[in-house]
Structures are given as C-alpha cells and as structure tokens.
Structure 1
Amino acid sequence: MNMPRTARKTSLSNIYHVMLRGINRQNIFEEDEDRLYFMNILGRCKKGSGFKLYAFVLMSNHVHLLIEPADESLDTIFRRIGTRYAVWFNQKYQRVGHLFQDRFRSENVESGLYFMTVLRYIIQNPMKAGIESRPGSYRWSSFLAYEQGKGTVTDTQYALDLFGGKQQLVEYLNQKNDDDSVMDEASCDRRLKNDLAKEKMRRITQCSSVSEFEQLDSSLRKEYVRKMHHEGLSLGQISRLTGMPKTTVYKAVQVPEDQAGAEKPLQLHEPEPDFVLYCMDPDTIW
C-alpha cells in the first residue's frame, strides 16, 4: 500500500531552500544552451508568479534556489518550471520519461543566520564541486549579482540589508566554511577528470582510440556507452572519447536497445519570441 506524502511544513519566514534534482541523479544540463533555456523559464515564471529569488546555482544534475513565494505555492511554481524545462530537454535530446526526481526537496529558512548560511552554501556549490577555484568564475549562479549589487533574476536587496552593505556580504560569500551540513548535493556534481575518464573508457571498452571504438559492433558500442555513463562519465566526455554525436550517446543511455529504432526524428523548436528574456550574452549578471 502506498503511504501518503508528508505535507510540507510552512516556513515562518516564507523563505525556502529548494533543490531540483535529475531523476537517478542524471544530468539535467549538458551544455550552456540548456542552462540558458532554464534561466529563461525561471525568469518567465518569476515574472508571472511574483516570487523573490535570493540565490540560485545551476549544477550539472541539480539546481539550488533560495526563494520566497508570493501568491503561488512552491508546488505550483516548481511544477510549472519543471514541466516546461523537461518537455524542451526531452525533445532536444530525443529522450522520453521523467527528467526530475518526482518531488523537489525543500527546507525552511527561518532565521537570518541560517539565511546567510544557505546563501553562502548555494554560491559556493560550484567551488566545492571543483568547477571553479573561487566564487565568480562560474557564471550560472547569483554570485556576480551580489558582487555587482544587483542582477536580472536575483533579488539582492534583502541580503545586502542583512549584511549592512555589499563589501561585507561579498567577503562573507568568499569565506572558507563548513556549510556542508546544508542539503548537500555538491559531491554528486563532481566531473571525472579527463585522464580518469580516458582510463575508465579503456578499461570498459578495451579501446584506446576513437578509431578502435568505431570498429566495434553497434550493439556493443551502445552497451559500453551505458557502462561509461553509469561510472560517471558525462555525455560530452563519452562523445569526445568515442566519436559518437552527443544526441546518439544520450539515446543509447536512455532508450532500451529494442526501442532505439522507434524514436521520432529530432525536431528542435525555438522558444516563442515573447518567451525569450535572456540571450547568450556572457556579460549577463543573473
């Protein structure tokens, strides 16, 4: 018998730390185009819902947000965000089925001290995952908005007031800490170094080059691709090491072999003109 889900406790401050995670911890972002599309969805939903977003970070297989809802519930907000992105992502990568874990995780942020802790934890997620050496070099987070004092998506004023100014806040966000007691998923986003990825590829396939891999039987190549992905290689790494297009790699990972030929041709559709809030501008401060 299925047990009913426990109702979420309402935060006394109405502020929540929320995490969206890929089902089975799989990647939900493969390249910057995916991250940009998610930011357009986030900005669009923020504009329509009226929620405040105090911090966010986009990792490869999960997203962290520090959010204060307005008129809509968290469930409504993230059902809309998750559904819109999953439809687009599945179409782009010829994928079927759920993209996100069925229910997002959330925790209440009910004090100024814990708000500060969660804010820094979210900002430093890429650094702790080995993606950057200091906050700011990875652009898919709110750090630069706080460093500049404002952003296009991030609502910075509450934190600036809490810290008494930008300098104190930025110094705090750069401090070394032991904030891993917060909902920790950074370790799940660690990418294998290229040398280790090559070593795993050779061990699994007994091939040391793209040309050797291409000589393998098609069904065996697909089996090896699934094994490499299971051991932590990203789609991009597998594509580079095997010479297979990324969409083909994704199809091999996601679709059972007996269904591989039943997929519809890839048809990517650009978002409607009124949907696009942000373009691929490296100078955008989120």
Structure 2
Amino acid sequence: MPRVARRKSISGIYHVILRGINKQTIFEDDEDKGRFLETLKKYKELCNYQLYSYCLMDNHIHLLMRESDESISNVIKRISSSYVYWYNLKYDRCGHLFQERFKSENVETKTYFMNVLRYIHQNPLKAGLTRNVFESKWTSLNEYFGNINIVDTDLGLKQFSPDKETAITLFNHFMTEHNEDQCLEYKIIARKSDDEVREELEKLGIPSTSVLQALERKSRDEALGRLKELSGISVRQLSRITGISRSVIQRIQ
C-alpha cells in the first residue's frame, strides 16, 4: 500500500518525532546528544529552518520547528543522515538507526503551538525522569531564560507579552503548571539497570557472564538475541556487561 503524503502545515510549523528503529536506543551517552544538537545547529544554518523547542530522550527525539524553502521531510532527512553517519563510525556499526518514516503533526494555531511547546519541555518530567522541568539537561527550556544556542525563542515569548521580562515570568509559570496536554507521542522505554540485565541472564539459566562467554557460539547468540529483544537494554550496555564486542552483538538477529 503506497504511503500517504504528509499534509502541508498552513503555518509551516510541525511537531516532529524521530525514533530509534526497532525501539533502539539512539543516544548512548551525553556525547551523542551533544553531537545531535551540533547537527541541528549545522543544518539550521544551511536549511534556514526555525527551531522552537527540542527534547532528546534515549530512544526518541521531539522537535518543534518551522520549515523554510526546504521541506520538513528534506530537512529531517539531512539531519538524521548526518547524525547516523557519525554514530555508525563511533560505534562500529552499519545500517539504519532511525525509524525510516518520522512522525509529525501540523501545528497551525497559537494555542496548540503553546501546548506543544510545553508538552515537549515537560516530556522528561512526565516520563518520571526528573523532579521538575528545569532539571533535564537535554531540553531547550533553559534557552528561553537567556542561554540561547540554537532555539528561536521570540515567537514563544511574544505569546505572553511584548515586554520580555514580563513574558519570561509568564512563560515560566506556563511551563511549570500541571496540565493534561495531549500531543503526538512515542512510548517511553525505561532503561534497565545493569543488575536487571544480569537478572535476565539468570532467568535464561546463565548465572554469570563467564558462563555466557564459555557457551558455544550458537547458544551464546541465542541468549544475546533474547536479551536484545527486551525493552530497555542497549547494545552498548550488553557489551559492557558481557565483555562481548558491540559489533558482534549488533549482528545477532
């Protein structure tokens, strides 16, 4: 069945979600997230899009952005291709990292723009990863309070007041208040701790990593394949715990 073409946003603004293929982790550490932000900045200058907010989660990304002369599809393709090329080199892997077709929704009213803006910034809080919206290092919220790097803050702040100081005060209140906002979402996958991974190994009848390493390759790969199928376990984590290289684990189907 052919894909349905995306409906073009009247405002040119979209809420975009990029997610890892097969629920895969796309950020293993802070360096990866920093690299993705650098990529956003690079293509913002090249493609002239506007970015109003972002949130980087371990297995997916939220972006609120307005396309310019280049379509949102082309922009996202350039951003994702550049990041995946770097990621594959770093982790000695090949192939896709992101779900092939990104999810998006049109943002065509001022009210919904503000709801999405808040929704993205509150994503880590609602996922139970932080105690308040300001704790997360990987959202664009703090750029609205003077630490501007890649985000276009004027549109969001002007919804509250033409006076910047007043706008920031009202914006702060809006971003922290409880709400029932419902926007485009991707299910959050909780990361398992190393101890939880070892418990999963024991459930498979493997009491230690040394026993796993001593298994014949077929049995070893079957065990690793079953662990890879579980939500919240990354290839890098498996490699660190088992002592088996990432490239070997990555190839196991």
Deviation, structure 1 residue 195: 4.5
Amino acid at match of 2:101: R
1:19 Cα deviation after fit: 0.9
Which residue is 1:79 aligned to?
A: 77
TM-score (norm 2): 0.88
Q: Secondary structure at the match of 1:139?
A: coil
Superposed CA deviations along residues 114-172 of structure 1, whole A, max 9, x for unmatched, are 111111111111222232222222211101112x2341011111111112311221222
Tell me the equivalent position of 1:196.
196
Distance (whole Å) between structure 2 residues aligned to residue 217 and residue 136 of structure 1: 49
Specify the alignment match of 2:168 in structure 1: 166
Does the C-alpha gap of structure 1 residues 90 and 240 become closer, same or farther in structure 2, counting only changes over 3 Å? closer
TM-score normalized with structure 1 length: 0.79
Report the alpha carbon displacement of residue 93 of structure 1 after superposing the two structures with TM: 1.8
Q: Select the residue among 249, 254, 270 that pairs with 2:250.
A: 254
For residues 53 and 175 of structure 1, the distance between their equivalents in structure 2, rounded to whole angstroms, comes to 23
Residues 245-276 of structure 1, C-alpha deviations (whole Å, 9 max, x = no match) = xxx23x2343148xxxxxxxxxxxxxxxxxxx
Single out whichever of 18-27 and 122-131 deviates more from structure 2. 122-131
2:164 corresponds to:
none
Q: Give runs of aligned pairs for residues 1-286 of structure 1, distance below 5 A.
A: 3-146=1-144, 148-164=145-161, 165-179=167-181, 181-185=182-186, 187-207=187-207, 209-232=208-231, 233-244=233-244, 248-249=245-246, 251-256=247-252
- Matched to 1:230, the amino acid is E
* Aligned-partner Cα distance in 2 for 1:88–1:150: 27
The 1:204/1:144 distance shift into structure 2, 3 A limit, reads farther
Q: What letter is aligned with 1:206?
A: I
Equivalent residues of 2:54, 2:139 under 8 A apart: yes
**Alpha-carbon distance change, 93 to 111 in structure 1, aligned in 2, over 3 angstroms:** same
Cα distance change of structure 1 residues 194 and 168 upon mapping to structure 2, 3 Å threshold: farther
Give me the whole-angstrom Cα distance separating, in 1, the residues matched to 2:238 and 2:178.
Answer: 34
Q: 1 CA distance for matches of 2:51 and 2:155? A: 10
Separation in 2 of the partners of 1:176 and 1:191? 26
Amino acid at match of 2:21: I
Is the 1:222–1:252 contact (alpha carbons within 8 Å) kept by the matching residues of 2?
no
Identity among equivalent pairs (%): 39
- Structure 2 alignment gaps of length 5 or more: 162-166
* Paired residues of 2:225 and 2:252 also in contact (CA < 8 A): no
Cα deviation, residue 87, structure 1: 1.5
Kindly state the Cα deviation for residue 176 of structure 1 after the two structures are TM-superposed: 2.5
CA distance in 1, matches of 2:62, 2:203: 35
Shift in Å, 1:194 = 4.8
Q: Distance in 2 between matches of 1:174 and 1:204?
A: 44
Which residue identity does 1:52 align to in structure 2?
Q
Equivalent residues of 2:118, 2:175 under 8 A apart: yes
Counterpart CA distance in 2 for 1:61 and 1:137 is: 19
Question: What secondary structure is seen at the aligned counterpart in 1 of 2:98?
Answer: coil
5+ residue gaps, structure 1? 258-286
Report the AA paired with residue 227 of structure 1. R
Question: What secondary structure is seen at the aligned counterpart in 2 of 1:178?
Answer: coil
Q: Residues 59 and 205 (structure 1 numbering): CA distance in 2 closer, same or farther, change over 3 Å? A: farther
Deviation string, structure 1 residues 51-71 (Cα, Å, up to 9, x no partner): 110000111111110001111
Q: What is the number of residues matched between the two proteins?
A: 247
Aligned CA-pair RMSD: 2.1
Q: 2:158 corresponds to which letter in structure 1?
A: D
| Contact kept? 2:239, 2:249, Cα under 8 Å | no
1: CA distance, partners of 2:134 / 2:235? 25
